[in-house]
Amino acid sequence: MTPEEVARKKKRIQNKDSVSTERTITVGVGGHYINIPTIWDGKQLSKEESIIKARKRLGRYQKFNSISDAVKAARKRSEAIGEAIKKQ
């Protein structure tokens, strides 16, 4: 999903000073790194539960060669989602 689609469609978790739609974690898979969400259907899942859910969808996640590249991409996406939410 694009950041704009996430802002429109995903359920949100209200935090003290913000909202969350994805809360990603970065995990290693087959020599690469991917960012996966820990919020599924509006519910915060554990790392283990998120990995189990994401395994069924591995092909849809972008692969990165380094953990730092994956983390940079996750931060950039989070900022883009935040901007899209503000525009609503």
Average pLDDT (17-29) is 83
3-state secondary structure of 2: coil
Per-residue confidence (pLDDT) for residue 7, from 0 to 100: 61
* Structure letter (DSSP) for residue 13: E
In order, the DSSP letters of 15-76 are -SS-EES--EEEEEETTEEEEEESEETTEE--HHHHHHHHHTTGGGSPPBSSHHHHHHHHHH
Nearest to 73 by CA among 39, 17, 22: 22
Per-residue confidence (pLDDT) for residue 76, from 0 to 100: 92
Average pLDDT (18-26) is 80
Per-residue confidence (pLDDT) for residue 48, from 0 to 100: 94
Token readout for 5 is 């689609």
Radius of gyration of the chain (CA): 13
Domain ranges, residue 80: 3-86
Q: Name the average pLDDT for the chain.
A: 85
Provide the domain count of the chain: 1
